[in-house]
Amino acid sequence: MNAIISASELADALRSERPPVLLDVRWQLSTAAASGQPFDGRAAYASGHIPGAVFVDLDRELASAPGPRGRHPLPDLDVFGAAMRRAGVSAGTPVVAYDGGIGWAAARAWWLLRWTGHPDVRVLDGGLPAWDGPLEAEAEAETEASAPTEGDFVPKPAEGAVLDADGAAALARSGVLLDARAGERYRGEVEPIDPVGGHIPGALSAPTADNVDADGRFRPAAELRACFGELGVTRDVPVGVYCGSGVSAAHEVLALEVAGIPAALYVGSWSEWTSDPARPVAVGPDPQ
């Protein structure tokens, strides 16, 4: 099954006898919008969303509180499971996640559901901007329909899909470890968020932005395979991905999935790696 779904395919699915549960996971990396106020995904959802979608809070339901394990460590599974059931997610129900277009937050939801055992979850390719159907405001939804029926999904994490700091360092030596951040952050030329710039020694630069076209839609699978192949990524090589805090890296894992290549996620990512000053840091274009 493809890990992504087009807007037209989603419209057809929503009219089918077995419509998917829709998760609206709008979120932004920037802490403040142009107005000076932090981005409010709940407010964006309330102003207009795909009919039937349920808002999911990335910071509170798809991650734990920031700390030594990074800015977006794994969520408490009880909290995550409750959020998914509240949204109507059941083990036998298809799920589609979308966000405001960049795809990172929706991919985080996709990855978490896949990691915890859901067999049928996809991401809306291109996000909400790709949707050309009607939108509904939260007030309209409340008057027209009740909350979704409680789901029965119980998270059961898979083994081997998550890397810790030691595992990421080892994979950089024994397989391929991809850094999904922008190239200038990888090289250590700028670091707007974390205390130290650079990358994990041995990691290869593979910016998430390279995986999509100008509209934010994924490039064809064959193109993705060719690009990842230039970095030595194949189905026969262990692959892991990290970013700043395990959000955009989930989008890279999704791109690899589209290309037919399984990959593990270092959830703590650079924000966890740099929390320990004893961990080595490489700078410049050279992986080492």
Q: Provide the annotated active-site residues.
A: 243
**In whole angstroms, what is the distance from residue 253 CA to residue 239 CA?**
9
Question: How far lies 249's CA from each of 89, 212, 255, in Å?
Answer: 24, 14, 10
Q: What is the distance between the alpha carbons of residues 265 and 163, in angstroms, rounded to a whole number?
A: 6
Which amino acid would we find at residue 28? Q
Given its phi and psi angles, is residue 75 left (phi above 0), alpha (psi -120 to 50 degrees) or beta?
A: beta
CA 267 to chain centre: 10
Cα of 243 vs its chain's centroid, Å: 11
- For residue 31, the one-letter residue type is T
Q: Which residue has the tokens 């670091």?
A: 191
- Asked whether 102 and 89 are in contact (CB, 8 A), the reply is no
Find how far residue 275's CA is from the centre of its chain: 22
